[in-house]
Amino acid sequence: MALFGKKESEPVVVAGRSLHCEICKHDRFWKQEAQLNTAVATFFNFDWANKTANCYVCDGCGYIHWFLPRK
């Protein structure tokens, strides 16, 4: 079954390392992008208002790994 409209989960590399799930150590993820709204950015006093975060949802347990793109 296709989740999130993607065909299949896939391996992810972050900062030059293969990503493994924090919870179940699975190595395949569904990639999603999440808009960071201004309210959240303001709350944390970050300067990435309305940037897009990369979200990798574990294909094994569903845990969501969030990453903010570096400039």
- Give the interface with Zn ion as residue ranges (CB under 5 A): 21, 23-24, 26, 58, 60-61, 63
> Residue 57 CB, nearest distance to Zn ion (Å)?
9
Nearer to Zn ion, 61 or 68 (CB): 61
Nearest-CA neighbor of 68 among 27, 30, 15? 15
Instruction: Decide whether 41 or 60 has the Cβ nearer to Zn ion.
Output: 60
* Secondary structure (DSSP) of 34-58: EEPPHHHHHHHT-S-TT-EEEEEEE
Which residue, 3 or 40, is less far from Zn ion as judged by CB? 3
